[in-house]
Structure 1
Amino acid sequence: MEHDETHIDAAIAGRLRALRNRRELTLDELAGRSGVSRAMISRIERGEASPTAQLLSRLCAALDVTLSVFFAPEGEEASPLSRRADQPVWRDPETGYERRAVSPPATPSRVEVIDVAFPPGARIAYPPETAKEGMTQHVWLFSGALEMTIAGITHRLEPGDCLYMSITEGHVFHNPGQAPAHYAVVLDRGRN
């Protein structure tokens, strides 16, 4: 799937509305669970606003889905192969962070692989997410520099370094370098 902002915004709008309706949540209920305003959720569902990575993460947590599940095409049969041209790509409108869901969708695997391009100077902070108890991730840096702050401790990653963490802990991604950071996130959803 080529990066097309209008197509992605429309897909996000439809997917958010479908997941909210499937869980029989009103806009007010989703707002209460996620900490995202009712007005913003409504704008996203109408395709009038592009959510940031932080905002989308909070909505996914409130809907009890991962970002990879959120972006996975519905109704597709599981295939063991995920072609690059078919992998969903999403760009955070605030930071320019670009996320490609590499793993084949609709498989029963607990593990998801995400390819990330993170611009110089970008910073994204994720709050603790107790709803994701048991979920862990490895961040494997291929190029550039990355600083990860977890529970107040900052780890500076250089190419080839890999950092393990629990998703339930708040964490901050920061690219302190002058070049984009390219890394993979290997997410384990834990016990199903």
Structure 2
Amino acid sequence: MIDPLVERIATRIRTEREARRWTLAQLADASGVSRAMINRIERGESNPTAVVLGKLSAAFQLSVASLLAQAEEAPEVTEPAAAGVRRPADDPEWVDPETGYRRRQIAGPRFPAELAEIRLPAGARVPYPAAAFAFLHQLVWVLEGRLTFHDGDTAHELGPGDVIELGDPAPRVFANTADTDCRYAVLLSRTDRP
């Protein structure tokens, strides 16, 4: 049986590709992800890793958060929810099958900014291409643990309470070199230009 979230991610990626009238080969060329892998993802046979999602989102000029947020929204939700409390159990959590990276979308898809909570296991390293950060303002706030954040050629060691606002798009790496998990929040807002 296919995990419902993996199935929605598959549908979201296929919808984005088809909206651009791209073939699998065209998306493979634009993203650097093999045609065979994209095909397996779109059929719901493979849960993409964070690295693969980063490459696909860059090709679509979307943030990983946007790609996942729209996939995480339950298909039956058509009206904005009434103001109220959401519990962690109410929010889908996506888990990277390669690193164990866990991502929970905090802000709903109709909120004007994207907010996600990330849990990065000890020893995990997740790189993203510069194109995954185009058209975005992004802020990373470390809540627990240590995060080694590579912004292009510059590495920043971040601890609890530290915040980094990202500048122009650059290749970035989120790494946890500590022996305990790191929990951080990512806040994104779109802009008209990279």
Smaller-chain TM-score bracket: 0.7 to 0.9
When structure 1 is superposed on structure 2, of 148-157 and 160-169 the one drifting more is 160-169
The match for 2:128 is 126
Superposed displacement of residue 153, structure 1? 1.3
Note the alpha carbon deviations across 1:7-44, whole angstroms, 9 max, x for none: 22222112211221222211111111111111110011
SS at match of 1:17: helix
- The one-letter code sitting in structure 1 at the alignment partner of 2:64 is L
CA-CA distance at 1:81 after TM superposition: 5.6
Task: Give yes or no for the alignment of 1:88 onto 2:76.
Answer: no
Please provide the CA RMSD for this pair: 2.2
> 1: CA distance between counterparts of 2:128 and 2:85?
28
SS in 1 for 2:188: strand
User: Aligned runs of 1:14-25 on 2, under 5 Å?
Assistant: 14-25=11-22
Query: Does the 8 Å CA contact 2:137/2:191 hold for their aligned counterparts?
Result: yes
Deviation at residue 95 of structure 1 after TM alignment: 0.5
The DSSP-based 3-state class of the residue aligned with 1:136 is strand
Q: Say which SS state the counterpart of residue 68 (structure 1) adopts.
A: helix
Structure 1, residues 50-109: CA drift from partner, whole Å, max 9, x if none?
2110111111121232223323236633446672343232111110000111112134x1
* Residue in 2 that maps onto 1:155: 156
Contact (CA 8 Å) 2:54, 2:129: kept in 1 or not? no
TM-score (norm 2): 0.86
1:101 aligns to 2:102 (yes or no) = no
Check the 8 A contact 1:78/1:104 in 2, yes or no. no
SS in 2 for 1:188: strand
Name the structure 2 match of 1:115: 117
Once the two structures are superposed, the pairs formed by residues 138-153 of structure 1 within 5 Å of their partners are: 138-153=139-154
Distance in 1 separating the partners of 2:141 and 2:2: 27
Change (3 A) 1:57 1:175: same
Q: Give the residue type in structure 2 aligned to 1:22.
A: A
Q: Which residue identity lines up with residue 113 of structure 1 in the other structure?
A: L
From 59, 62, 65, the counterpart of 1:65: 62
CA contact (8 A) 2:66 2:114 kept: no
Once the two structures are TM-superposed, the CA of residue 170 in structure 1 deviates from its matched residue by: 0.9
Gaps of 5+ in 2: none
Q: State whether structure 2 residue 29 is matched by structure 1 residue 32.
A: yes
What TM-score, normalized by structure 1, do the two folds share? Answer: 0.87
**In structure 2, distance between residues paired with 1:149 and 1:62:** 21
- Segment drifting more, 118-127 vs 11-20: 11-20
**SS of the counterpart of 2:114?**
strand
Unaligned runs of 5+ in 1: none
Corresponding letter in the other structure for 2:173: V
Amino acid at match of 2:171: G
